[in-house]
């Protein structure tokens, strides 16, 4: 469950969705707050998840790579039904976790069916290749972003957050043009995608999710452009999806809002 940042804690639809999928009143949620520079981030998330109905919640509090992967941390992850990454700076997560026992246990938890979620930087880190840094703008341009290794819960998607709020369409198109086998997922704030088995995508929240599909690209000059020049891409497919919309087996479903209101 990837969230675009700025979660609304007054109307906690997304937090409650995550709790529900993690087991509701039986949920055992582990929070990883390291992307944030604020010392009370983990504690705040623990309070929020308990308030919104989780059975148990705990934060793994550490700030140095050498502290990752203690026996206590691994035990909590093995018992977790939901693991949630807070927002901040995604490179902090890649540097702290990469190649550690903690990273191994995170992937093992996912493989056994633990629900994985994250907001903002915590969404970016979920994919195998992540957008580490970049500039906004509507036009894809050479060198407008930097990739880094994410945690690799999926290799089918790449996530970008605060999407419309920070005008990030150009960089997501650039990301997909250079990696046309993945789907680019642009997440508006307080909006989420729920991905099941890398096949079914469901949108929740008040904003939109922009899906950039490059699998049908017929031509692009992305490999030839230099010095921040504009990039051309043809036959790119873009979907803009809102709450309740779904993609299943490459087919897009948009709910009939008129029928719902009737």
> Which sequence positions are flagged as catalytic?
120, 162, 189
List the 209-213 sheet strands across, edge first: 157-160, 183-187, 209-213, 237-241
Calculate the alpha carbon distances from 39 to 30, 64, 124 in Å. 17, 13, 21
List the 191-196 sheet strands across, edge first: 56-59, 28-32, 82-85, 115-119, 2-3, 191-196, 200-205, 246-248, 251-253
Calculate the alpha carbon distances from 53 to 23, 107, 109, 200 in Å. 10, 26, 22, 26
């Amino acid at each position: 469950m990837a969230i675009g940042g700025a979660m609304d804690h007054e109307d906690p639809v997304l937090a409650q969705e995550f709790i529900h999928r993690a087991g509701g009143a039986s949920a055992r949620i582990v929070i990883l707050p390291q992307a944030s520079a604020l010392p009370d981030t983990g504690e705040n998330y623990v309070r929020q998840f308990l308030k919104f109905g989780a059975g148990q919640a705990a934060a793994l509090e550490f700030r140095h790579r050498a502290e990752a992967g203690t026996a206590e941390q691994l035990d909590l992850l093995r018992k977790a039904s939901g693991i949630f990454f807070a927002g901040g700076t995604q490179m902090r997560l890649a540097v702290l976790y990469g190649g550690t026992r903690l990273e191994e246990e995170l992937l093992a938890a996912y493989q056994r069916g633990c629900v994985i979620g994250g907001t903002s930087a915590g969404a970016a880190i979920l994919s195998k290749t992540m957008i580490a840094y970049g500039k906004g703008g509507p036009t894809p341009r050479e060198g407008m972003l930097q990739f880094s290794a994410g945690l690799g819960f999926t290799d089918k998607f790449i996530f970008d957050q605060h999407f419309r709020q920070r005008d990030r369409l150009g960089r997501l198109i650039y990301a997909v043009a250079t990696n046309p086998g993945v789907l680019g997922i642009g997440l508006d704030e307080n909006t989420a995608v729920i991905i099941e088995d890398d096949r079914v995508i469901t949108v929740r929240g008040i904003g939109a999710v922009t899906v950039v599909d490059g699998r049908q690209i017929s031509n692009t000059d992305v490999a030839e452009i230099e010095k921040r020049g504009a990039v051309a891409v043809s036959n790119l497919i873009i979907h803009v999806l809102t709450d309740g919309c779904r993609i299943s087996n490459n087919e897009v479903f948009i709910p009939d809002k008129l029928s719902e209101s009737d």
